[in-house]
Amino acid sequence: MTVERQLADAFTPPSRLTRWFAGWGRAYHVTLDHAGALGVLTWQILVSIVRFRVRYRDVLTQTYVMGIQSLPIVFVTASLAGIVTSQQGGYQIVSTSPRYLLGTLVVQSVVLELGPLLTAIVLVGRIGARITAELGTMAVSEQIDAFKSLGRDPVAMLGAPRVIAGIITMPLLVGFADVIGIAAAMVAANLDGGLGFETFLYGARLFWHNWDLFYGFSKAVVFGFVIPLISVHMGLRTSGGAEGVGLTTTNAVMFMILTLLIMDAMFPPLMLQ
């Protein structure tokens, strides 16, 4: 009877509390695993840059792909963001505050938040998913292993150029998005509410601080580093054939967007206090 009881206890399904702790344990393990791998990858990229193992032609190619080819979608996104911000801000301000404050609201919103974050999210879909799928396909088809067997460093050849290009192009794209967003908002305020360009620019200059521009570009540099870094990390870890590439790309996009939002929430207490 005792042996039967012990066997029954051994094969008893785990309780809800046990499953809950097991789930948190798996999440904790996965988080630490990705954090450690990202740290190692960052160190490998830095070593590749310091030892001049990165070819400048690869950097230029990736800069063209990430920067020039992303201008149309960034233009559309920034224009719509500026127009919507102007219209909604005008609706709130028209009956409660001086109309020139619309310029302040739009410029602060675009430079501090909408320009960097929306541009980063656009690049997650256009560049991050592309890098993950590209490197993931190379991983499952054993092209990465072929590079290693030939004595080539995949991080120096494939990872470092993309990270460098992201750091270079992201601030430029954010600056472009800021200009386009503010210009579109100014035109929308003029057409929709009759607000003159001079009045809009007066409000924009009234509460302007140079630190705001530095704050926005600081976000751009960090986002430009994080997006290709996570993409390369997830792409090189891909396994499981075509299905694995699709699953890894989906997880990478979720990973990047969540990371961007968390880092975006960390900037105000660190740099605006």
pLDDT over threshold 80, residue 19: no
- Residue 264 and residue 219 in contact, taking contact as beta carbons nearer than 8 Å: yes
pTM summary value: 0.88
Q: What is the pLDDT of residue 18?
A: 77
Would you list the domain boundaries of the chain?
A: 55-271
Distance between CA atoms of 155 and 45, rounded to whole angstroms?
Answer: 7
Main-chain phi, psi angles of 194, to 5 degrees = 70, 20
Distance between CA atoms of 224 and 116, rounded to whole angstroms?
Answer: 10
- Residue-wise pLDDT for 81-115, tens only, equals 999 999 888 887 777 778 888 899 999 999 999 99
From residue 185, alpha-carbon distances to 19, 73, 81, 126, 219 in Å are 52, 17, 8, 25, 22
- Who contacts 142 (Cβ-Cβ below 8 Å, separation ≥6)? none
Mean predicted confidence (pLDDT) in 220-239: 95
- Who contacts 163 (Cβ-Cβ below 8 Å, separation ≥6)? 45, 225, 228, 229, 232
The first and second tokens of residue 86, run together, are 């102007």
